[in-house]
């Protein structure tokens, strides 16, 4: 097996693991209907970083990073939506 194939497989596996890392938090937030402990600053910085990496990956045409960051951005957006829906501190500041 070629070295580049091994590294592409490692990159793909790493991207999938990174994507999967947010799923337990999404499930917990949805089940508990509570997002008070989720940091809005963390989520905003994470989205910014992933967006910049995605833009770079699009520029260099790296399919592993494009797919991984696209999935991660989608999952993080779901988490932000759940935070907006279930966080009492967010709801109180909007009223």
Global pTM?
0.82
Among residues 86, 79, 10, 83, which one has the least CA distance to residue 50? 79
What six digits make up the tokens of 74? 């989608």
pLDDT of residue 60: 95
* Rg from Cα positions in the chain: 16
Instruction: Quick: pLDDT tens for 18-70.
Output: 889 999 999 999 999 999 889 999 999 999 999 999 999 999 999 988 999 99
């Amino acid at each position: 097996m070629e070295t580049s194939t091994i590294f592409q497989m490692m990159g793909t596996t790493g991207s999938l693991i990174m994507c999967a890392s947010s799923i337990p938090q999404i499930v917990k937030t949805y089940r508990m209907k509570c997002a008070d402990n989720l940091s809005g600053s963390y989520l905003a910085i994470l989205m910014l970083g992933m967006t910049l990496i995605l833009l770079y990956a699009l520029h260099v045409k790296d399919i592993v990073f494009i797919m991984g960051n696209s999935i991660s951005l989608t999952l993080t957006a779901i988490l932000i939506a759940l935070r907006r829906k279930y966080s009492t501190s967010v709801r109180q500041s909007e009223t």
